[in-house]
Amino acid sequence: MKLEVNAGALPRANTNVPTDVPAERLYALDRKPERMAWLVLFGAFTACIALWILVPVLGYQFLRFSTLAQNSSIEYAPTRPDQITPVRVSLPNASQPIAVIDLTDIPENSRIETDPNENSRAIIQLFENSNVFVFPDSQIVLQEIRKPQFSVSEQPNRLVIEHPRGLVRYAVAPPLNLSDGSKARATQFLVRTPHFDVWLNPGSYRIQVTDQGSQVSVTDGSAAVRSRDGSRELVVEQGLRVIAEQGKPLADPIPAAQDLLAVNRFQDTLDCAPNSTAIWKCYIEQGGDSGDVNGSIGVVTLENREAVQIKRTNSGQNSAVTGIRQMIDRDVSDFRTLNLYADVRVDSHNLSGGGYLSSEYPLIIRMKYKDVDGNETEYVRGFYAQNDTRNPTANGELVPRGIFVPIESSNLLASLPIKPFRILSLEVYASGWDYESYVSNVRLKAE
């Protein structure tokens, strides 16, 4: 006998399934519940394994890369305490900057600005003992000042400073030696200017940013520099500097010492016309002895070199000064060395030695400067070829007649009894009766 089964009459065991599912489909599902159970079990096992792996990994990454922002301390550092020019600090989310005079804690993302006044300076001490010295008319932003949150992290401290304008000295501290013989956490120190990024190793660095470009000088240590467009990277060693000019590729490293003179050549930069705007300017001063004979100044080629000739004849033993001057007006408090170089030649002079008061030589180099208190003083060095009448020669030096003699000063920042703070001008002149002298290759180098 054949049993007829009406599919539509099969019972619906799973009452939660929608009624529009065909009865044959429901029957198949009800007959294989073990498949669904295995799928659920396998999914749960996979999720368990994933969590077992991911939770420790994510936890380790959190322990490794989590950081905490650190405060820094800033202090007003005037050169003349009697003249207060506060430093402006803009705190994060603040509408107005605050004026800082006393030691103040500031957070990450603070902006520090100094005024053009030479008394407006600041020292910032970072949490890991590095120091940042901000000079007048400068601006920086403490973009990131962070350390790892957990001691198990091997990541370095991270310091990122935006430096859009001015002169700043960075003293990057080395990791300290701990009591257990290990070293403290290292620091990644990044300074970003409009023209390059520079990573600073422990040492001392001078970074200056102007409208024309940026430069970094390495006093101690070494730095890695990368142009902002990523087109070039290089390492700058101690005693070198790198310049990135606006719109030009990153240049090769050059010696860190820089000439404070705008130009040391004379051709096309020397003009003796009244009201001249030339870099080197002529000047003539008659003394108080009623003389009226002026000397002459001219650029000549002598011994295959460009030189300035300073000459005076037929003086009738009346004194006069004939010379050239270049205005400098540069703060040198950030430099460690300052040296004067020149090639000097004295051909003739009829006033012996340095004259009656040791102030009249046939060739004199004079640097005018201000000290830290704003007092004006000068460094003078005279040269002569004869002293037949044995006049005094204080600050004078006897040189062979008729040949160029290279001269070099000692470090003027260390040797002068009154230390220079701001260089005002450099003059090369002759003083006395008749004289004929030459000067070439004048340089005033600071590092």
Asked whether 406 and 343 are in contact (CB, 8 A), the reply is yes
The interaxial angle of helices 33-65 and 23-31, nearest 10 deg, is 70
**How would you class 162 by CB atoms within 10 Å of its CB: exposed for 0-12, middle for 13-18, buried for 19 or more?**
middle
Q: Along the 447 residues of the chain, how does pLDDT read in single tens digits?
A: 444 545 444 454 445 555 555 655 555 555 567 777 777 777 777 778 777 776 676 666 656 667 899 999 999 888 777 778 889 999 998 889 999 888 999 999 999 999 998 888 999 999 999 999 999 999 999 999 998 888 777 788 999 999 999 999 999 999 876 556 566 788 899 999 999 999 999 999 999 999 999 999 999 999 999 999 889 999 999 999 999 998 888 999 999 999 999 887 787 778 888 788 889 999 999 876 667 899 999 999 988 889 999 999 999 889 999 999 999 999 999 899 999 999 999 999 999 999 999 999 999 999 999 998 889 999 999 999 999 999 999 999 999 999 999 999 999 999 999 999 999 999 999 999 999 999 999 999 999
State the DSSP string of 182-244.
PBPPPEEEEEE-SSEEEEEPSEEEEEEE-SSEEEEEEEES-EEEEETTSS-EEEE-TTEEEEE
CATH number of the structural domain 270-446: 2.60.120.260
Give the count of alpha carbons within 13 A of 327, CB side only: 7
Per the listing, tokens 């705008």 go with: 262
Residue 67 has a pLDDT of 83
Amino acid at 409: S
What is the β-pairing status of strands 67-69 and 139-148?
A: antiparallel
Asked whether 76 and 122 are in contact (CB, 8 A), the reply is yes
Q: Residue 53 — φ and ψ, nearest 5°?
A: -85, -45
Residue 93 has a pLDDT of 87
CATH number of the structural domain 67-257: 2.60.120.1440
SS3 373: coil
Residue 43 has a pLDDT of 74
**Cα separation of 325 and 331, whole Å?**
18
SS3 38: helix
State the DSSP string of 125-136.
E-TTS-EEEEPS
State the DSSP string of 68-97.
EE--EEEEE--SSTTS--PEEEE-TT-SS-
DSSP state of 288: S
**Cα separation of 435 and 362, whole Å?**
6
Per the listing, tokens 């096309």 go with: 268
> Measured in whole angstroms, how far is the alpha carbon of residue 280 from the centre of its chain?
28
CA dist 299 → 172, 268, 283, 307, 430 (Å): 47, 9, 15, 6, 15
| CB neighbours of residue 47 within 10 Å | 10
Residue 435 has a pLDDT of 97
